[in-house]
């Protein structure tokens, strides 16, 4: 990958390639799960990105992975006060609020908070390895980082209900048909295609793009406050702790049994 490397910390690698600011999730051992340190680093990157026009491209530095949601081992001990801080929902709102268009390049599972991260971007492209799921209710909580309203906006209520109620997983082809992915590309070309898309966007007026994005955001539902309050109630529910503990125990059992420790229901919440 060409370009000037600008730094790597907090599980994030940042690189500028022309008009594209590549924001790479870099926690391969955790399948890019979003812990609080990574969320803080992403906030800092987005704040810096507002200094001059750029198309933010969110991707993974590890082939075959996008993001397996929130870090459940960390989430297990969060309580109502933590939920009211809106840790992950605040990140998705900050990504949505980037002044210019954003792109998610999804090469692998985007589960739970990972799906919500992709949804917070304006455009999404993916490889044949992409898949999307929102398993939060199986862990005793809600998809509290935007899926309850961004997902229906993108794929419609019927698909959103199946994903949120029944845990339906969309593979790349299904996600493309539903509108969750705008384009499909070969995995090896995905990041280059994201940069090419950023370059096409950058041929337009940055100010016009900024104002167009503001106009489109007028249609944004104001539901984040409800999501935060609902999550704060569920974070104190004993069933949440029981379900998340069982999830972690089962994941460890699969890992020690020789599996990869990930299946389509493994996405952490937002």
Contact 103, 191 (CB under 8 A): no
Sheet order of strands, 12-17 included: 4-9, 12-17, 20-25, 55-60, 102-106, 123-126, 183-184
The alpha carbons of the chain give a radius of gyration, in whole angstroms, of: 17
29-60 per-position pLDDT tens digit: 999 999 999 999 999 999 999 999 999 999 99
* The pLDDT of residue 2: 36
Q: Which of 36, 48, 52, 116 is catalytic?
A: 116
Q: How many residues does the chain have?
A: 270
Q: Which of 136, 168, 199, 210 is catalytic?
A: 136
Instruction: Report the relative pairing of strands 20-25 and 12-17 from DSSP bridges.
Output: antiparallel
Res 264 pLDDT > 60: no
Percent of the chain predicted with pLDDT > 90: 67
| Alpha carbons 265 and 154: distance in angstroms, whole number | 21
* H or E stretch at 222: none
The β-bridge partners of 113 are none
Does the annotation mark 193 as catalytic?
Answer: no
Q: Which two tokens stand for residue 184?
A: 């499909």
Provide the pLDDT confidence category of residue 7 given band limits of 50, 70 and 90. very low
Average pLDDT over the chain, rounded to whole? 89
Q: Give the predicted TM-score (pTM) of the model.
A: 0.86
More confident residue, 156 or 266: 156
Does the annotation mark 116 as catalytic?
Answer: yes
Domain ranges across the chain: 4-256
CATH of domain 4-256: 3.90.226.10
């Amino acid at each position: 990958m060409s370009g000037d490397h600008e730094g790597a910390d907090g599980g994030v690698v940042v690189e500028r390639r022309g008009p594209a600011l590549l924001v790479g999730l870099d926690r391969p051992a955790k399948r890019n799960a979003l812990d609080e340190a990574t969320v803080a680093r992403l906030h800092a990157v987005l704040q810096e990105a507002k200094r001059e026009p750029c198309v933010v491209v969110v991707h993974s530095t590890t082939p075959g992975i996008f993001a397996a949601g929130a870090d459940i081992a960390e989430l297990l001990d969060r309580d109502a006060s933590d939920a009211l801080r809106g840790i992950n929902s605040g990140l998705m709102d900050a990504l949505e609020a980037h002044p210019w268009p954003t792109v998610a390049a999804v090469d692998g599972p985007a589960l739970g908070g990972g799906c919500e991260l992709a949804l917070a971007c304006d455009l999404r492209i993916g490889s044949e390895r992409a898949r999307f799921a929102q398993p939060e209710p199986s862990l005793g909580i809600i998809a509290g980082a935007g899926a309850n309203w961004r997902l229906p906006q993108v794929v419609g209520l019927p698909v959103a209900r199946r994903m949120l109620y029944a845990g339906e997983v969309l593979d790349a082809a299904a996600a493309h048909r539903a509108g969750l992915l705008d384009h499909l590309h070969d995995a090896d070309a995905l990041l280059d295609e994201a940069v090419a898309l950023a370059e096409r966007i950058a041929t337009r007026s940055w100010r016009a793009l900024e104002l167009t994005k503001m106009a489109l955001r007028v249609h944004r539902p104001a539901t984040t406050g409800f999501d935060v309050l609902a999550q704060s109630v569920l974070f104190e529910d004993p069933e949440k702790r029981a379900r998340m503990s069982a999830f972690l125990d089962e994941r460890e059992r699969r890992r020690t049994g020789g599996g990869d420790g990930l299946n389509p229901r493994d996405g952490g919440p937002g």
